């Protein structure tokens, strides 16, 4: 990881402007690897150096990766005059500018959609995973207004597997939907998920009250795509929860509205899909 100037690091960690940091250094309150650091321009290795300010150890972090279990009635925006935002759910300690950039949503979920949302400062990773050429799969638990016969379920699955035309909605143009994978809940109430992490099934069931009739995996991210796909079939989505993005599944232990930082292994799962 590249080294950063001491004054830049401390400014990003809430210690004021670079002039403020300079004063801290001159007062002898800044210790780098156990030694007083008087030069605010000295380079600090984020990955290995130790930084203590006025007796308090500072956690050095270039980028932040958060998994949030988004709840309903919360919007994916920095500010909203009417609704609570996903950033309102975060602790104040996370609401500062990081070295890697501003904390932002990796994609968006509608106000009535629940589930897996990644918040990160890693703009390069976000741009890569949201690029149309990357085709990152996203899996949703879907609850439908109308119950379907077994024959109708087969028709839906076959239509989705081939891709089909989606009509225009509001100001959004119609488009040819790419092939998608649709799996219905079995008669025993379970999903058949061969080769999947058991956490995926747990994430679908947790707090859903059995609302998910099927699992849909899409490989693009058009406006209201899942809702429009089922509307095109003459049905209506009444419950929607994202449970997987790429190889990363929602942690079933996360209650709605709660969050945690991703582990190194989980970050690696996301970066598997990263393009140059």
Mind listing the pLDDT tens digit for each residue in 143-198? 999 999 999 999 999 999 999 999 998 888 999 999 999 999 988 888 887 777 78
What is the location of CATH 3.30.70.1560 in the chain? 137-245
Provide the pLDDT for residue 275: 59
pLDDT beyond 60 at 246: yes
Mind listing the pLDDT tens digit for each residue in 252-265? 999 999 999 999 99
pTM of the model: 0.84
Choose between 276 and 209: higher pLDDT: 209
Mind listing the pLDDT tens digit for each residue in 198-238? 888 888 888 767 688 999 999 998 999 999 999 999 999 99
Residues annotated as catalytic are: 110
What CATH number belongs to 63-134+255-276? 3.30.70.580
What secondary structure does DSSP assign to 123-182, as a single string?
A: HHHHHHHHSTTT---EEEEEEESS---HHHHHHHHHHHHH-EEE--BTTBPPEEEPP-EE
pLDDT band at residue 101 under the 50/70/90 scheme: confident
Right CATH number for 3-58 from 3.40.1190.10, 3.40.50.720, 3.10.290.10, 3.30.420.10? 3.10.290.10
What is the location of CATH 3.10.290.10 in the chain? 3-58
What is the location of CATH 3.30.70.580 in the chain? 63-134+255-276
Cα dist. 130→107, 118, 154, 213, 259 in Å?
A: 7, 12, 30, 27, 21
Could you name the CATH architecture of 137-245?
A: 2-Layer Sandwich (3.30)
d(CA 150, CA 98): 51
Structural tokens at position 241: 């929860």
pLDDT band at residue 74 under the 50/70/90 scheme: very high
241 close to 208: Cβ distance less than 8 angstroms:
yes
pLDDT band at residue 100 under the 50/70/90 scheme: low
Provide the pLDDT for residue 250: 95
């Amino acid at each position: 990881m590249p080294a950063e100037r001491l004054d830049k690091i401390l400014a990003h960690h809430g210690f004021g402007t670079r002039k403020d940091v300079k004063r801290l250094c001159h007062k002898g309150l800044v210790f780098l690897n156990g030694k007083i650091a008087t030069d605010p321009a000295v380079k600090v290795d984020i990955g290995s150096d130790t930084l203590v300010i006025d007796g308090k150890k500072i956690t050095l972090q270039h980028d932040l990766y958060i998994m949030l279990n988004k709840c309903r009635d919360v919007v994916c925006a920095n500010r909203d005059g009417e609704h609570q935002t996903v950033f309102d759910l975060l602790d104040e300690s996370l609401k500062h500018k990081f070295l890697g950039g501003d904390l932002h949503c990796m994609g968006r979920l509608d106000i009535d959609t629940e589930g897996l949302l990644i918040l990160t400062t890693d703009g390069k990773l976000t741009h890569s995973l949201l690029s149309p050429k990357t085709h990152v799969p996203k899996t949703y638990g879907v609850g439908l207004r109308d119950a379907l016969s077994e024959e109708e379920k087969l028709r839906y699955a076959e239509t989705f597997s081939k891709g089909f035309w989606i009509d225009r909605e509001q100001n959004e143009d119609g488009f040819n939907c790419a092939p998608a994978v649709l799996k219905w809940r079995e008669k025993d109430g379970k999903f058949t998920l061969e080769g999947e992490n058991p956490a995926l099934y747990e994430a679908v069931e947790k707090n859903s009250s059995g609302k998910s009739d099927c699992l849909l995996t899409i490989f693009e991210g058009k406006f209201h795509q899942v809702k429009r796909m089922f509307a095109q079939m003459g049905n209506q989505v009444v419950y929607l929860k994202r449970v997987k993005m790429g190889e990363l599944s929602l942690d079933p232990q996360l209650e709605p509205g709660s969050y945690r930082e991703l582990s190194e292994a989980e970050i690696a799962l996301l970066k598997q899909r990263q393009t140059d």
